[in-house]
């Protein structure tokens, strides 16, 4: 891949990631401030953010130059990646809550998600939106 393409892809991922992070964190803080427990609030926030992220990253950031649409295989791989990252993030937030309290999870949430975004980019690029694989039916 050309370095220019990688830079463009990285920039788009970063832009959509910031928007996704803001949405996810806002929902998380709103829900926990209303009394929803940390893990369910994190799952709901991530689910809403991930829905937006899947759409934007699949259709724009990692779109095939050949115009291939998002398929069920990509969605299944996205769901698996999302579950793994959500498990890690929820565990970290739960530990922060147990050790220092709910308010500290509000500060930790964007840091945790930003850290997971690095793994997310790699997973999206090489696992979810991969191209030219027989299992995708292409």
Domain ranges (residues) in the chain: 3-133
Mean of the per-residue pLDDT values for the chain? 84
Phi then psi for residue 122, to 5 deg, are -60, -45
Question: pLDDT band at 129, cuts 50/70/90?
Answer: confident
Provide the pLDDT for residue 109: 96
Question: pLDDT band at 133, cuts 50/70/90?
Answer: very low
Q: Is the dihedral of CA 38, 41, 46, 49 positive or negative?
A: negative
Encoded tokens for 116 = 């997971």
Condensed to tens digits (0 to 9), the pLDDT of residues 22-64 reads 999 999 999 999 999 999 999 999 999 888 877 777 777 766 6
pTM of the model: 0.76
Side-chain-facing half-sphere of 27: CA atoms under 13 Å: 18
Question: pLDDT band at 68, cuts 50/70/90?
Answer: low
């Amino acid at each position: 891949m050309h370095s220019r393409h990688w830079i463009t892809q990285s920039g788009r991922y970063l832009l959509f990631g910031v928007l996704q992070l803001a949405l996810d964190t806002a929902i998380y803080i709103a829900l926990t401030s209303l009394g929803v427990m940390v893990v369910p609030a994190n799952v709901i926030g991530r689910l809403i953010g991930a829905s937006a992220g899947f759409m934007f990253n699949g259709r724009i950031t990692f779109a095939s130059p050949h115009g291939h649409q998002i398929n069920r295989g990509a969605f299944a791989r996205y769901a698996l990646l999302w579950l793994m990252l959500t498990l890690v993030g929820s565990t970290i937030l739960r530990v922060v809550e147990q050790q220092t309290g709910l308010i500290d999870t509000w500060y930790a949430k964007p840091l945790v998600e930003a850290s997971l975004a690095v793994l997310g980019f790699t997973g999206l690029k090489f696992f979810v939106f991969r191209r030219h694989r027989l299992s995708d039916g292409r």
